[in-house]
Amino acid sequence: MSTADTWILTAQCPSRLGTVDVVTRFLKENHCYITELNSFDDRLACHFFIRAEFRPENEGFDSERFQDEFAPRAAEFDMTFELTPPGRRTPVVIMVSRTDHCLNDLLYRYRTGQLPIDVRAVISNHPDLEPLAAWHRIPYHHCPITPETKPQQEAEVWRIIEETGAELVILARYMQVLSPGMSARLSGWAINIHHSLLPGFKGAKPYHQAYEKGVKLVGATAHYINDDLDEGPIITQGVEAVDHSHYPEDLVAKGRDIERQTLARAIDYHLQRRVFLHARRTVVFAGS
């Protein structure tokens, strides 16, 4: 986790000689001590990515001046960049259906400060989890949906997201397929979690199907959503070994544990600016 006094500079550009130097030299000239540095050059796409976590050594660090002065140097490399201040809490909206393990885990991490988020609202197509949100004093919006009311329901969901000022939407086991239009609106800033089994089992009770096939691995995948169902750019994956002694209910329990841990890790990486969207894949600087 980033420390309370460190800033984060992220940047990307076409591959060129001097890309690391332009970032690190500028930080040195501005008396900024680098506490963590990650970079990656994609030789197939000829594209460069860098993330620098740093601590200003002079008092009165001026972020606007920093960005204004770095901009012309970045422009020489066709480099886009973002500066993230320390201690920033990202406003989020969580979407969920009836299953509560991911929502409960996220709200715990929110309450204890493990995730630097400001949960503005919980949206669900069922009323079941309203008491959990109410206990955390978070507004809960019950937005029921049927095939006939899907456009109206998604319009209401979008209204809530806009009104709350959310910068990240988390699908914490929201068991509805988003329309292509909604997926396009949320592309790149909504994170979904789902089970990940080999072979893949579709339809109802995937873990029961997995038991019947005698699977030896269960897992979960967290990814950004796009217009391909459960096939958006992957951020994190988790996996654990199982064997013949695991009955269907054991696989379900283990799968839920992996889902909540994998989702929380993906959100943490996103908040720490460790994830770069790169075409239909990601570059992820996982850190320690």
- Pick the catalytic residue from 100, 118, 128, 230: 230
User: 288 vs 32, 58, 223, 274, CA distance in Å?
Assistant: 22, 27, 20, 12
Which DSSP symbol is given to 177? P
User: How far is the C-alpha of 5 from the C-alpha of 144, rounded, in Å?
Assistant: 43
281-284 and 275-278 strand pairing:
antiparallel
Whole-number Cα distances in Å, 238 to 128, 168, 222, 257:
28, 22, 9, 10
Distance CA 19, CA 36 (A): 17
C-alpha–C-alpha distance, residues 77 and 63, integer Å: 21
230 counts as catalytic: yes
Backbone phi and psi for residue 53, each to the nearest 5 degrees, phi listed first: -105, 130
How many Å apart are CA 199 and CA 284, to the nearest integer? 26
DSSP class of 102:
H
Mind giving me the DSSP string for 178-214? PPHHHHHHHTTSEEEEEEEESS---SS-HHHHHHHHT
Q: Which residues are catalytic?
A: 230
